[in-house]
Structure 1
Amino acid sequence: MTAKAKYQDVLDLGEALNIKNGDVSEENGVLKVKGMAKTQYEKNLLWDKIKAIGGENPTDIMANITVEDTSVFHRHTVKSGETLGKIAKQYYGDASKYQTIFKANSDILKNPDLIHPDQELIIPNL
């Protein structure tokens, strides 16, 4: 199996995330991937996928993923049924960090219990 075939799920994720300036090549059994993710969260998703396939320190892939917007961890569009706690759990792994998201969006949110579908929320860096 080629390294490209082995890491096809990573390449598919990069495509789904619309990674900019993407470039993929294979040299001596090592897959070389580079591109620019919109946010650190998207970069983390790619690295998590790489590690899920190749282990903690894979030797058959070299990835150079940069981040376009380092001012935020991510930008999240609220979906029906979501809460700040659920969103905090998704991005930080801890629902109690909802206050961090609330404070970062105090210009559009007046109550942490009232968010609406299609609102774009800043998910701040911790």
Structure 2
Amino acid sequence: MSFTYRGSCLCGQVTFEVSGFKEHIANCHCAMCRKFHGAAFGTLSQVKNLTWLSGQELLKDYVAPNGTIRTFCSHCGSSIGFRSKGNFLPEIELSLALFDEDIPIKIDAHIYTDYQSNWYEITDALPQYKEGWE
């Protein structure tokens, strides 16, 4: 049996579907993820078989000074995803908040906790890493 999971941006003009998610997923507390998502952390995942259904022409990139790439919808501003320096759009890690239905994932850890905001306290028992996955 094959499943697909659909997602969209806030205005609904950027839509996509995937067939699955990578094995390990973390809440990232780095300053760039916090600012990009407007939240205490960002939760993104590499996906399997990403297909853009609509709105790919609305995707815009912000390239940070360190070369990482943040992709967003140019119409509504929704945070779409993240790519490492040199990676192309098919290698994007998508924001899990974009999915329009329940998805079969489990958060494994908190990463970049040395940069977490002072107003958010991590209260779960997930492993915490000061930088990336250590």
TM (norm. structure 2) is 0.21
Rg larger for: 1
TM (norm. structure 1) is 0.22
Larger relative contact order (C-alpha < 8 A, sep ≥ 6)? 2
- Say which structure is richer in strand: 2
